[in-house]
Amino acid sequence: MSAIEYALPPGATTGHLWQLRVAGEIRVQTVDWVAPLPEGLVADYSTPDGDVYVSQVLVPLGCDRCPSTTNHIAQGRWGDELTLICIRCGAAWNPRWSGGDVEASRTLLKQIIVESGFTPGTGVGDTVEEIRDELQADLWTPSRADQQLANDLVLGVHGDPGPEAIAQCMKSTLDWQLRSLRFSEALARTVGMLRAPGGEADPEAQNLLDFVMDLARTIAAMAPDRLRHEPEAGPGTH
């Protein structure tokens, strides 16, 4: 593995909890054990008995719980292992590849932070508040699946949801084409904040939870004719 050293972006602190939604797939280099070696591949190494070969391949980091490989939220503080949150089903996990190398995971999180170009406090990037504002400005329209999810949240968790309860509600409306990227993202960010170390006692995470539950109540109360009935247009909806 290369030993690239990434530097903390100017203006950021090591205590900041980063949450960055990665468009598309996150692909990592890992070893693929193949036997026999496919034609055209060059083995880096072969075992002494010659039955198994190792080659370097790029694989997407797929969700721990559902088949999704795209639009994960990358989370962690500078120097942490990478945590991923699936915006489809709400799963949060520490991906393992490259033989479970923790240092590779820390380096990948730093790389994602640096390459995002995002500096906390600059107002750049997605936040749950922005998602609420976009709803109020009619920049996105919740779907019937969003409303079903919002109802599950409002009725099912009695205003005091933990991250697993939110994720369970997300799993109940897994039809991705009918769920909105924005609402799913808001929920996944909340799950991530609550699942971070100390998150459930963190006032910022609790504020976010209050905010997203307000958003859910707003969506749950919308008249059916204001809801989207078609699959969401645009990237990241498949």
Q: How many of the chain's residues bind Zn ion (CB under 5 A)?
A: 8
Cβ of residue 91: shortest distance to Zn ion, in angstroms? 5
Residue 12 · residue 19 · CB < 8 Å: no
Q: Under the criterion CB under 5 A, does residue 113 sit at the interface with Zn ion?
A: no
Cβ of residue 23: shortest distance to Zn ion, in angstroms? 16
Cβ of residue 110: shortest distance to Zn ion, in angstroms? 24
Residue 33 · residue 99 · CB < 8 Å: no
- The correct pick among 89, 92, 104, 131 for binding Zn ion (CB under 5 A) is 89
- The correct pick among 12, 86, 149, 213 for binding Zn ion (CB under 5 A) is 86
Which residues lie below 8 Å from residue 53, measured CB to CB, with a gap of 6+? 33, 34, 35, 36, 37, 41, 43, 45, 46, 47
Q: Under the criterion CB under 5 A, does residue 66 sit at the interface with Zn ion?
A: yes
Q: Under the criterion CB under 5 A, does residue 189 sit at the interface with Zn ion?
A: no
- The correct pick among 18, 28, 68, 161 for binding Zn ion (CB under 5 A) is 68
Q: Tell me the window of 66-74, 75-83, 105-113, 121-129 that interacts with Zn ion (CB under 5 A).
A: 66-74
b vs e for 80-95, b when ≥16 Cβ sit within 10 Å of the residue's Cβ?
bebbbbbbbbbbbbeb
In the complex with Zn ion, the residue whose CB is nearer, 12 or 145, is 145
- Strand 18-21 relative to strand 45-46: parallel, antiparallel, unpaired? unpaired
Tokens coding 219: 């969506």
Q: Under the criterion CB under 5 A, does residue 91 sit at the interface with Zn ion?
A: yes
Q: Distances in Å between the alpha carbon of 210 and those of 30, 47, 76, 84, 196?
A: 40, 55, 22, 22, 17
In the complex with Zn ion, the residue whose CB is nearer, 68 or 107, is 68
Q: Under the criterion CB under 5 A, does residue 63 sit at the interface with Zn ion?
A: yes
Cβ of residue 159: shortest distance to Zn ion, in angstroms? 25
Closest CA to 4 of 106, 98, 73: 106
In the complex with Zn ion, the residue whose CB is nearer, 171 or 217, is 171
DSSP type of residue 221? T
Cβ of residue 79: shortest distance to Zn ion, in angstroms? 26
Q: Under the criterion CB under 5 A, does residue 88 sit at the interface with Zn ion?
A: yes
For residue 138, the one-letter residue type is: D
- Residues binding Zn ion (CB under 5 A): 63, 65-66, 68, 86, 88-89, 91
